[in-house]
Amino acid sequence: MKEQLSKIRDEAKNELKKALDSRILEELRVKYLGKKGVVKEVLGKLGEMSEDTRKEIGRFANEIKDEIGKLFEEASLSIEKSLKEAKLRSGVADISIPQSVPPMGFSHPLTLVTEKMVNIFKSMGYAVEDGPELEEEYYNFDALNIPPYHPARDDHDSFYMGKGKLLRTHTSPVQIRTMKNKKPPLAIIVPGRCYRRDASDATHSPTFYQMEGLVVDKGLSFADLKGTLLLWAKMMFGEKTNIRLRPDFFPFTEPSAELAVTCPVCHGPGCGVCKHTGWVELMGCGMVNPVVLENCGIDSEVYSGFAFGMGIERVAMVVYGIKDIRFFYENDLRLLEQFVK
Ligand code: PHE
């Protein structure tokens, strides 16, 4: 009987080799392992045997049954595999195969810094305003108290486009557009692109980004400007940061100041970023000149305001230790992919 069982196993092995689809496999399963299958048939004869032989043959028969079971398992796996391969060859995608992750994009460092600044000012209640890059001389200069032939126009080497139009040299014209269109109280920031006919070098570029800020309300003083910018500096560069304000001149603010922050890199002793002074100059600011308020139809006896404007590249260069402004525009992925949120 042992021989008979071994023969059954060998037959099963042979037949399974030829089973190429699951239908044939199922037929063989019934033939060998089914209720009326060959193995059961042999086992049925156990009853006719003496107890000892029954035990011995029974154990052997169970082993053979397990072996055949394993052969079936293997056969079914290999059928599944060849089916999958055939499907792939025929062009049907197998969505169960893990995919390689496509490379992800990342934000430009100027975008990251702009977003951070915008979020800080938004948290203080500022709204974001926008304005045209192709601007009228009136908004870019005249209304900002920079009349024709004023020497300040020379500081803004401009791209003139004819018919009183130019590429805006700063984001300040959006101050005028906003004050003419909206009633105070106002608190806005204006991130945007500007243009000047500057030769390109490590710190200059004919196109660059600025962020303007403007607040107009009753009873605003220089203390409000100072408090706002101190809070901004701390949120931007860390709690330890302090600010320094020195007198400056802009036709559209009076008094005007230049704001510097304690060096975010060395925090004082001096380093390459702060040119060993411990301070980094970041923006111009001041109280909105009453002439400018009046130009926009705002009563300067009732309202006052403060404004500030900074170069976004300058801030990003300090934050990321980038030494040349041109790196921002070259779009060399080896540089750009280093900056994460
Ligand atoms: N617009 C000025 C510039 O481009 C910066 C500035 C903005 C100064 C607002 C004071 C107030 O240089």
For residue range 31-42, what is the model confidence (pLDDT) as tens digits? 888 888 888 887
Cis ω for the linkage preceding 255 (within 30 of 0): yes
Residue identifier of the C-alpha nearest atom 4 of ligand 1: 170
pTM: 0.72
Ligand 1 midpoint to CA 259 (Å): 11
What whole-number percentage of the chain has pLDDT above 90? 57
Element spanning 303, H or E: strand 303-311
Pocket of ligand 1 (CB under 6 A): 170, 172, 212, 250, 253, 284-286, 307-309
Ligand 1 midpoint to CA 322 (Å): 23
Ligand 1 midpoint to CA 1 (Å): 103
Between residues 35 and 134, the one the model is more confident about? 134
Residue identifier of the C-alpha nearest atom 6 of ligand 1: 309
Confidence at 341, pLDDT banded by 50, 70, 90: low
Q: Give the Cα separation of 196 and 255 in Å (integer).
A: 25
Is residue 216 within 8 Å of residue 185, measured between CB atoms? yes
The ligand 1 atom nearest the CA atom of 171: 1
Between residues 330 and 19, the one the model is more confident about? 330
Between residues 156 and 328, the one the model is more confident about? 328
Is pLDDT of 94 > 80?
Answer: no
Confidence at 288, pLDDT banded by 50, 70, 90: very high
How confident is the model over 194-236, as pLDDT tens digits? 999 999 999 899 999 999 999 999 999 999 999 999 999 999 9
User: Angle at Cα 306 formed by Cα 303 and Cα 312, nearest 5°?
Assistant: 150
Is pLDDT of 59 > 90?
Answer: no
Residue identifier of the C-alpha nearest atom 12 of ligand 1: 284
User: Angle at Cα 192 formed by Cα 119 and Cα 182, nearest 5°?
Assistant: 80
Is pLDDT of 57 > 90?
Answer: no
Ligand 1 midpoint to CA 312 (Å): 13
Residue identifier of the C-alpha nearest atom 7 of ligand 1: 309
What pLDDT was estimated at residue 224? 98
Is pLDDT of 191 > 70?
Answer: yes
> What mean pLDDT is predicted for residues 48-60?
83
Residue type at 273? V
Compute the mean pLDDT over every residue in the chain, rounded to the nearest whole number.
Answer: 91
Q: Which mutation among 250, 252, 253 tests ligand 1's pocket best, with the greatest number of atoms within 8 A of CB?
A: 250
How confident is the model over 289-321, as pLDDT tens digits? 999 999 999 999 999 999 999 999 999 999 998
Ligand 1 midpoint to CA 172 (Å): 6
User: Angle at Cα 40 formed by Cα 37 and Cα 43, nearest 5°?
Assistant: 155
Q: Give the Cα separation of 324 and 207 in Å (integer).
A: 14
What pLDDT was estimated at residue 159? 93
The ligand 1 atom nearest the CA atom of 172: 1
**Among 110-119, 142-151, 152-161, 270-279, which is the least confidently predicted range?**
152-161
Is pLDDT of 340 > 80?
Answer: no
Q: Which of 48-52, 100-104, 141-145, 156-160 tops mean pLDDT?
A: 141-145
Residue identifier of the C-alpha nearest atom 2 of ligand 1: 309
Residue identifier of the C-alpha nearest atom 5 of ligand 1: 309
The CB density around residue 262, as the number of other CB atoms within 10 Å, is 19
Please tell me the number of Cα atoms within 13 Å of 267 on its side-chain side: 6
The two structure tokens encoding residue 240: 């330890």
Which residues are bridge partners to 160 per DSSP?
Answer: 166
